[in-house]
Amino acid sequence: MEGQTTGLLTTSGSGQPGEAAKIVIRGYGSINASQDPLYVVDGIPFSGDMSSINPADIESMTVLKDASAGALYGARGANGVIMITTKQGKEGKTKVSWRSTAGWSSRSLKAYDMVDQKEFVQLTYEGLRNGYIFDNGYNWETAGRQASADLGGVLGGEQYNPFKNYTWGTIIDPATGRVQDDATSAWNESWMDAIQRDNAFRHEHQLSVNGGTEKTKYMFSLGYLNEDGILINTGFQRYNARANINTEVNKWMKTGLNVSLSNSTQNFSDYEGSSNSNVWYSAQFMAPIYPVYIKGEDGKDVLDADGNRQLDYGDGSVQRPRYSDFNPVGGLVDDKADIKTDVAGLRTFLAFGSDSEDAGWAKGIKLTLNFGLDYRNKSQKSYMNMHHGNQAAAGGLLMKYNRRTQSYTFNQLLTWGRSFNFHNIDLLVGHEFYAYKYEFLSAGKTNLVDGILELRPGTNLYNADSYSEDYRVESFFGRFNYNFNEKYYFSASIR
């Protein structure tokens, strides 16, 4: 779309699987107001998420902007309109098709070139030594001895010394002021590697049935998508179904029905921005000497009762100097965040009229009744564990959110189109009624019961809130199009 329409900008959002693309038409018109265009699916405004629509069900997409958008959809089309037409049945024998795709995704930008363990220790030592020289007036030798003595306290004690053949006090060779050449590391764990999947897997499967007779055409489709995120424990899973049936009852009457269903689950990281809890941010600032998993005095993993490795939160007998009581991997494993979404849509129409000469004076007059209904229910869970992190003192925090959206549109369109020699006329008058209702409910509790991600066992109320939005829009509109010999055009519209 971006390459086919001028003034259209698309971005992929956060990169989280299941995140809908962001589309802006004709630039940003406001700092605070929404920039989202109006989506119209099969002639009816759509209030759901674009990620709930299977791309394989889309036949075409058209962008309306400027006067054309405002004329047809009023203020709702101020940010532009994207018209989406879903696939219809085609006359002919029944065709059954199956399509499966698979792929892998990885981080596109190379990771920063980071210092290794020896370089980090060396730089920390030099920083301490230079501080004693320039800030305290120590001579070179005295500053070096003091820096070596203080190194362990700055880096977190021997618990975080990966070089088990030396202590922090002896890791620096006093003759050279460098890390000992034969210092051997007992571990070397990359925090960035620990939070990422290498080649995250994505697979999608689609079944479609298409066919019909001269008067009745049908299309049915089923789809399944499963996509792993680059971050561990993130991903998106969607089931969707669609049925589209159109029939010509007689020469002057047509009707159709389009029904769609979608169910999706999105697992994601609940932290973003530059906060420490944002794992993309914090993992790259974690010093390379600090292990992802708890180590013993010999530098080997300390296993739990079940033989599993234990994440090091830096809150043991000796606390990690930075990011104490925090582990980027733990933010993805021990904390939970997901959104479950159910979407249902219905489109139906009844059309009267004909372009046949048999219609006599009524040739070209058509009355179309359109009705559309959209329903979306979104349940979100956000859990911060009770053992580590900023909610450990409160016994954990569980927040649950429910957002329900219901909307329906009913319009009646009367059109007349005729051609007289070089004159071509197209008239449209219509009425539309749109109803929208949004309901929000949230609640949270602390002091939870371990292993039960429900609010009832929690003893302390953290938050409770609800509100609703309910509005109606009724419109009358008209449009007149005229052209002479397909060369000179005139158009006027009102809403």
Maximal CA-CA distance, the chain = 109
Q: Report whether 136 contacts 150 (CB < 8 A).
A: no
pLDDT value, residue 244: 96
pLDDT value, residue 422: 87
Which 8-state DSSP code applies to residue 279? H
435-473 tens-digit pLDDT = 999 999 999 999 999 999 999 999 999 999 999 999 999
pLDDT value, residue 70: 63
List of residues 6+ apart from 176 with CB closer than 8 A: none
- State the distance between the two ends of the chain, measured CA to CA, in whole angstroms: 28
Q: Report whether 236 contacts 225 (CB < 8 A).
A: yes
Which of 436, 462, 469, 466 is closest to 448 using CA atoms?
462
How far, in Å, CA of 404 to CA of 361, rounded? 48
| Number of residues assigned to the chain | 495
pLDDT value, residue 406: 96
Q: Report whether 448 contacts 396 (CB < 8 A).
A: yes
Q: Which amino acid is at 484?
A: F
pLDDT value, residue 421: 84
Helix (H, G, I), strand (E, B) or coil at 49: coil
Q: Is 490 exposed, middle or buried (0-12, 13-18, 19+ CB in 10 A)?
A: exposed
Helix (H, G, I), strand (E, B) or coil at 72: helix
Which of 13, 164, 1 is closest to 81 using CA atoms?
1
Q: Which amino acid is at 248?
A: E
pLDDT value, residue 132: 95
pLDDT value, residue 140: 92
How far, in Å, CA of 273 to CA of 276, rounded? 9
pLDDT value, residue 78: 78
pLDDT value, residue 98: 96
Q: What is the DSSP string of 134-201?
A: HHH---HHHHHHHHHHHHHHHHT-GGG--BTTS-TTTSEETTTTEE-TT--BS----HHHHHB-SSEE
Residue 443 has φ and ψ, to the nearest 5°, of: -155, 150
Question: Which residues, given as ranges, of the chain have pLDDT below 70?
Answer: 1-5, 13, 66-71, 272-276, 317, 359
Q: What is the DSSP string of 88-141?
A: ---SEEEEEEEEEEEEEE--SSPPP----HHHHHHHHHHHHHHHHHHHH---HH
